Chain A
Amino acid sequence: MAGNSPSSVALLNFFVFNTEYGPKEGEEHKKILYFYPPEVDLDTKIKRIGLSEAVVKFADTFSDKPCQSLHTQKARQVFFEPEPCFWMVMMASIPYKEKLKDGQVVTEYRDDYVQDSILESVLKQAYKMFKIFNGTFTTILMRANGEVESLKQRLDHFYSKYLLTLKLPQADILDVFNGIHFLPLDKNTYLRIQCFINSLEATFPFVKYTAFLYNEKLVWSGLEQEDMRIMYKYLTTSLFPAYMEQELQGTQNRPPSGIGHYGKFMTGPPDLSNDRNMGKLPRVFVNTEEIDEECYLMVYTALSATICMLVNVKSPLNVPLCRKLDTFLGPKMTKLATDISEQYSKRVAALNTTDPVFKYVYFNHMNLAQQTTVHIDLQKRSGVNIPPDILRLLGDINADLSRGNEDGETVVKTNSDYWVVGKKSDQREFYVVINQRNANLIEINEEVKRLCTTYLNSIFFLD
């Protein structure tokens, strides 16, 4: 690849509309529920939405599956209908670079740089993230007695901030999986955590659901899988980093409230001696026991251990109660965190003894467990260990394997002498990147087999 590297993929439009609204000519603007960027004139908004609606309707006649994406030379659009008649559309620019050809500047668009599957998952994630903090579009409308304006406000309030944090160029295969990192833990420690949570929920019955994390890895969730999936995303990509930054800057340093323990509230009262300040307490909508149940999300942390407690908004919550919680949680969480850390450091040390020449990504659709050594840290803050084209290749193989329901395997050798192997068995996917010059297919096959037996020996994963 000669010359400058191409521009990166960027968000062009993001809009939400309802096909049922404003059916009459001249009322098309009523369809618009949210539009990014907001400064675009109404006419363009209407045209964009009109085109999308037309494409969706048109495609509908050819397939029972809804329209997914629209490819053009300069842009890519993905469509998603999260609730009946509500459509979400995201449009991203295709990276390009300018080349001199025969003395003329030619713009070369790299359509292969943008992957449908990844854009689609980013769009779906955007919806789910909205939903967990606001409930479904339908619920919002229902609560506002069909007043569309309130839905518009909510959408605007949420997406105007959310879209700013969207990092499209960094989206990759992990966004497709949108999985959960689980903490490997021995049975006894796990049972202790389990009993601790049971005891917490029994002592404080207003704590309805709980999730326990250590080092941003999940240990236990009392929420349903889908709720946990999006909650996990929020915690690891938004709440934890923001809290960490706050702690580092020391702007709002919350000293541990108790003596002899390190526990403190991450969300909730910043100062337990002040009865009047409940602090910031996010509200979330979960679907574990009932649909769109509104709960306070109270997060408490001690050392590297974090516990999320969901409290139904109907239950009274005040600082004295939080003090009681703190007395209960502080010492126990501190002890658990210390014990886990001992075990955890041993495990990490054992894994790091050999620096493997390969990198892998693993995902299990059944429990959403994902693992990666392709990424330097779990939340993609420090980048990746492999070249961007190889990372894109992983996304492509994944899209290929997802198409059919059959198990399968794909082996690719790249120009840059990388071998990339993608395997799918039942509901699991395993991708290996091996940088080994002069290796042949048989050797790579053997190597992958060996990896499977070392890393996946306790599960039913077919070669």
Chain B
Amino acid sequence: MEDDNYYISLCKNPIRFEPFSKSNNVFFDDANKQVFAVRCGGAMGVIMKGPEEKVCVSFRMEDRGEIVSIKFSPDKRILAAQRYLKSVEFLNFQEDLTTDQQEYSQACKGRATEIRGFVWSSTNEIVFITTAGLEHYQVIPEKRTLRNLKTLSLQVNWYFWLASSSILLISSGTLGNILHPFQFKQPGVMTRLPKFEADLPAGPKPQKLSLLDRDVTMAVIYDHLYVVVLRHPLNASSGAEIVLYQLQKESPARKTDVLKLDMSGRFAINVVDNLIMVHHQASKTSVIFDIHLDAKSDGYVNYHYPVLSPLGIKPFKLLLPSVNMQAGIDKTEYNCELYSANWIVFQPDIVIDAKLGCLWTLELNLAPLVTMIPDKDKLIQFLLYRTDSKSVILSVCAQMLVPGKQASLQSLAKVYDMLNVTYKQFLDTETQASAGEASIRHVNSKVVIEQSDMFTHVFSVFEDYKDIKYKFVVAVLIEYIRSLNQFNIPVQHYLYELVINILVQNSCFYQLHQFLQYHVLSDSKPLACLMLSLESVYPPAHQLALDMLKRIQTANEEIIEVLLSKQQLLPAIRFIRSVGIVDNAQSRKFLEAALSTNDNMIFYTVFKFFEQRNQRLWANPRFQQGEHCDQYVKQFEALFGSESLMPLQPVQ
């Protein structure tokens, strides 16, 4: 299968737009993920397509010069477009995305200042990034004006805007490696986070811009915000590196991880499912890094190597209208050039081919990875952090038990422990949530594999493959139960039942006995009943069941039933006396059982016992109407004569 060889692919249905040409300009706003095709400066129409739009939205603008940048506000009610170096024009839109075409404009401050770009920081707030700093405006569409909220002076080389976290990163300084993060969390407020300096390669530093915007990006990885810096090697013999700086609230960003690439040249970086995906144009391959996997550390920084050796993206075929109409086929398959020079990547997972007019998102296919990562510990560790990996994890766990591919118990133990760490965290957050604690946090976005999942999808292997040795089956189940216990996770009855059934089927009663003796199998009424049913094949099961019922403490009725069914009348009576439930005991049951022993002495004794109880309770030895004991009284009279009944006490 072709699918088995690639773990990175482009999404099946790319967003199509009119390719870039002389008359058609293409823009991508990565904040809203909208593609704009602008024809002749907008006079011939602007076509916008975003992830929310089923069909393209088109409108016209007056052609007042070439558009440099175009972006909708997050609610698509205001369109901002830049044509000139010193101003940005605005256009109001209705809900149905029609416009009155009446533009209004805002110029930047200062004579020598030029606008490098702008970003929408909230629904109707916009930030101009100029050569001299930041200008924060509120847009008032009704009045067609803007109100300046704040202006900040700063030398700016370039900027990066991460819309999902509302973080603006500004490069400053001669070398460009002084980085200033700004946060726009609440409307109207611009928070300046501590600036930091990105490392530059060692060696003589030319007094020119050394850290370029194409080598810097930002991403959210495992709930933390990182500045991702590509560091080119000084000479071709060594490989490039990617350095991660984790943004901090109170202190400058901290260098936490270094990703070793072992290649040099042009790279593009995406983040997919918390993995850092690095594309290398020259070799047409990609590698992935997972910063949560074990790494070498020098105490400060973790050094990572790719999870797998470099591999290309899965080939993509596009259906295009056929040029050759004579052939009678109206569409032909077109093999897209991967890693093309026309590719531009955007965060987190977007790839655009402007010449082809395609926008893809990148996807990770987990199934091929299973065979590519032979080390099961590493594989499971990797899979646990992926979204939608549950079925793959379960199938890996199941495979580990299949004859011929069986993993060692040590390896299974490690895997189960990994699964159960997450499972425990999940259970803890669940109990906190049910206890009414407001802060329900995701378990590090990890996949949770519960006992029921293991039972239905993994241990079911034992049903499918009858040739697995029972010893292995028991060992695996005990290993899993040990792991659950180690993390204080209550074990479900069905797992016990599985262990017990296997032990019973193989007549390993003594082992079962020992498990119960050490309470490996927790007490429960169903388990006690199961033990009772085993008595015929393994007599000690009777004792085990009774002990268990006693420990459960709420099973007095069951204990009585068990004793009576074994015709152990006197022990049953002793039992009800010892737990103090003589008054409520159903005398009929006892008399019936006593009679069935065919031992008159027993019947006599039991009868007398209840007569005395009646006397004590009601000052009358006769049975109450509701007890339905008439037939036994008759029996008693028939056997021993009515004179043997306890005489009624005269009423005083």
Chain A positions within 8 Å of B, measured between CB atoms, are 182, 185, 187-188, 190-192, 194-195, 198-199, 201-203, 220-222, 224-225, 228, 364, 366-367, 369, 406-407, 425-428, 458-460, 462-463
In the complex, which of the residues A366, A428, A458 has the most CB atoms of chain B within 10 Å of its own CB atom?
A366
Contacting residues, chain B, for A192 (C-beta < 8 A): 482
Interface residues of B in 517-575 (CB under 8 A from A): 517-520, 539-540, 542-544, 546-547, 549-551, 559, 570-571, 574-575
A202 to B547, CA, bound (A): 33
B413 at the interface (CB under 8 A from A): yes
Interface majority SS (helix, strand, loop, mixed), chain A? mixed
Report the nearest B residue to A222, measured CB to CB: B511
Closest-by-CB residue of A relative to B523 is A458
CA gap between A220 and B478 in the complex, in Å: 14
For this complex, 30 residue pairs linking A to B, each with C-beta atoms less than 8 Å apart, are: A188-B486, A190-B520, A191-B478, A191-B486, A192-B482, A194-B478, A194-B520, A195-B409, A198-B409, A198-B475, A198-B478, A202-B471, A203-B409, A220-B514, A221-B510, A364-B543, A366-B513, A366-B539, A366-B540, A366-B544, A367-B513, A407-B570, A407-B571, A425-B571, A458-B547, A458-B550, A458-B551, A460-B543, A460-B546, A460-B547
Interface contact B517-A182, CB-CB below 8 Å: yes
Shortest CB–CB separation between residue A324 and chain B, in angstroms?
Answer: 15
Q: Which residue of the partner chain A has the closest CB to B474? A: A198
Evaluate contact between A188 and B410: CB separation under 8 angstroms: no
- Please determine whether A191 and B549 come into contact, CB atoms closer than 8 angstroms: no
Contacts of A185 in B (CB 8 A): 518
**Residues of B close to A224: CB separation below 8 A:** 510
Q: A187–B520 contact, CB under 8 A?
A: yes
A322 CA / B643 CA spacing, docked (Å): 81
A406 to B575, CA, bound (A): 15
Chain B window 437-480, contacts with chain A (Cβ cutoff 8 Å), 1 for yes, 0 for no? 00000000000000000000000000000000001101100110
Q: A366-B513, A460-B559 are in contact. List 18 more A-B contacts (CB 8 A).
A: A187-B485, A187-B520, A188-B486, A191-B481, A191-B520, A195-B409, A195-B475, A198-B471, A201-B475, A221-B514, A225-B510, A366-B543, A366-B544, A426-B546, A458-B551, A462-B574, A462-B578, A463-B578
Report the nearest B residue to A183, measured CB to CB: B518
- Greatest chain B CB density within 10 A among A201, A202, A460 is at A460
Is B113 at the interface (CB under 8 A from chain A)? Answer: no
Q: Compute how far the CA of A241 lies from the CA of B513 in the bound complex, rounded to whole angstroms.
A: 29
Residues of A within 8 A of B543 (CB): 364, 366, 426-428, 460
Q: Is the CB of B547 within 8 A of A459?
A: yes
Task: Report the separation of the CA atoms of residues A462 and B571 in the bound assembly, to the nearest whole angstrom.
Answer: 7
A188 CA / B478 CA spacing, docked (Å): 11
Q: What chain B residues lie within 8 Å of A460 (beta carbons)?
A: 543, 546-547, 549-550, 559
Q: A195-B479, A198-B409, A458-B551 are in contact. Are A187 and B519 (CB under 8 A)?
A: yes
Distance between Cα atoms of A427 and B513 in the complex (Å): 15
Tell me, rounded to whole Å, the shortest Cβ–Cβ distance linking B636 to chain A: 23
Contact residues of B between 382 and 411, Cβ < 8 Å to A: 408-410
B510 touches A202 (CB 8 A): no
Chain A residues near B575: list those with CB within 8 A: 462
Question: Judging by beta carbons under 8 Å apart, are A194 and B482 in contact?
Answer: yes
A195-B413 CB under 8 A given contacts A222-B511, A460-B547 = yes
Most central of A195, A220, A428 by chain B CB within 10 Å: A195
Query: CA A198 – CA B511 in complex, angstroms?
Result: 13
**Could you say which residues of chain A place their CB within 8 Å of the CB of B478?**
191, 194-195, 198
**Residues in B whose Cβ lies below 8 Å from that of A187:** 485, 518-520
**Is A190 in contact with B479, judged by CB distance below 8 angstroms?**
no
Which size class do B's interface residues fall under? 35 or more
Q: Which residues of A contact B571 (CB under 8 A)?
A: 407, 425-426, 462
Contact B479 A198 (CB under 8 A): yes
Task: List chain A residues, Cβ under 8 A from B574.
Answer: 462-463
Residue of A nearest to B518 (CB): A190
A201 engages B482 (CB within 8 Å): no
A57 CA / B599 CA spacing, docked (Å): 36
Residues of A within 8 A of B550 (CB): 458-460
Interface residues, chain B, CB within 8 Å of chain A?
A: 408-410, 413, 471-472, 474-475, 478-479, 481-482, 485-486, 510-511, 513-514, 517-520, 539-540, 542-544, 546-547, 549-551, 559, 570-571, 574-575, 578
Q: Which residue of B lies closest to A202 (CB)?
A: B409
**Which B residues are in CB contact (< 8 Å) with A198?**
409, 471, 474-475, 478-479
Q: How far is the CB of B3 from chain A (nearest CB, A)?
A: 35
User: What residue in chain B is nearest A203 (Cβ atoms)?
Assistant: B408
Kindly provide the distance from the CB of A205 to the nearest chain B CB, expressed in whole angstroms.
10
Complex alpha-carbon distance, A428 and B571, angstroms: 14
Q: Are A191 and B482 in contact (CB under 8 A)?
A: yes
The minimal Cβ–Cβ distance linking B376 to chain A, given in whole angstroms, is: 16
Q: Which of B475, B486, B570 contacts A202 (CB 8 A)?
A: B475
Contact A367 B520 (CB under 8 A): no
Give the nearest-CB partner of B510 in chain A.
A225
CA distance A306 to B570 in the complex (A): 44
Please report the C-alpha to C-alpha distance between residue A426 and residue B511 in the assembled complex, in whole angstroms: 22
- The residues of B that contact A203 with a CB separation of less than 8 Å are 408-409
Q: Which residues of B contact A462 (CB under 8 A)?
A: 571, 574-575, 578
Cα-based distance from A27 to B201 in the complex (angstroms): 106
- Bound-state CA distance A13–B229 (Å) is 94
B544 to chain A, nearest CB (A): 8
Q: List the B residue with the shortest CB-CB distance to A226.
A: B510
**In the complex the two chains form, what is the Cα distance from A422 to B551 in whole Å?**
24
A343 to chain B, nearest CB (A): 13
Chain B positions within 8 Å of A366 at CB level: 513, 539-540, 543-544
How far is A222 from B514 in the complex, measured between Cα atoms in Å? 10
CA distance A406 to B542 in the complex (A): 16
Q: Are B485 and A367 in contact (CB under 8 A)?
A: no
B514: chain A residues within 8 A (beta carbon): 220-221, 367
The 3 A-B pairs of least Cβ separation, nearest first, read A198-B475, A191-B482, A366-B540
CB distance from B602 to the nearest CB of A (A): 12
Q: Which residues of B contact A367 (CB under 8 A)?
A: 513-514, 517, 540
Contacts of B510 in A (CB 8 A): 221, 224-225, 228
B489 → chain A closest CB, angstroms: 12
Q: Which chain A residues lie closer than 8 Å to B482 at the CB level?
A: 188, 191-192, 194-195
- Which residues of A are found within 8 Å of B472, using beta-carbon distances? 202
Could you say which residues of chain A place their CB within 8 Å of the CB of B517? 182, 367, 369
Task: Please give, as numbers and ranges, the residues of chain A lying within 8 Å of B519 by CB-CB distance.
Answer: 187
CA distance A406 to B482 in the complex (A): 40
Contacts of A195 in B (CB 8 A): 409, 413, 475, 478-479, 482
Q: In the complex, what's the smallest C-beta–C-beta distance from A133 to chain B, in angstroms?
A: 22
Residues in chain A near residue B471, CB distance under 8 A: 198, 201-202
CA A366 to CA B479, docked complex, whole Å: 27
Contacts of A463 in B (CB 8 A): 574, 578
Question: In whole angstroms, how far apart are the Cα atoms of A369 and B510 in the complex?
Answer: 13
In angstroms, Cα B545 to Cα A460, docked, is 9
In the bound complex, CA of A131 to CA of B408 (Å): 37
Chain A residues with CB under 8 Å of B408's CB are 199, 202-203
Measured CB to CB, the closest approach of chain B to A215, in angstroms, equals: 16
CB distance from B531 to the nearest CB of A (A): 12
* Neighbouring B residues of A426 by C-beta, 8 Å: 542-543, 546, 571
Min distance, Cβ A449 to any Cβ of chain B, angstroms = 9
* Residues from chain B with Cβ under 8 Å of A221 in the complex: 510, 514
Complex alpha-carbon distance, A364 and B542, angstroms: 13
User: Residue of A at shortest CB range from B521?
Assistant: A187
Interchain nearest-CB distance for B361 vs A (Å): 44
Name the CB-closest residue of A to B488.
A188
Complex CA distance for A25 and B133, rounded to whole angstroms: 127
Q: Are A188 and B475 in contact (CB under 8 A)?
A: no
* Minimum CB–CB distance for B127 against chain A, Å: 57
A462 to B471, CA, bound (A): 37
Distance (whole angstroms) from the CB of B436 to the closest CB of chain A:
31
CB distance from A360 to the nearest CB of B (A): 19
Whole-angstrom distance between the alpha carbons of A201 and B511 in the complex? 15
Cα distance A222–B515 in the bound complex, in angstroms? 12
CA distance A360 to B546 in the complex (A): 23
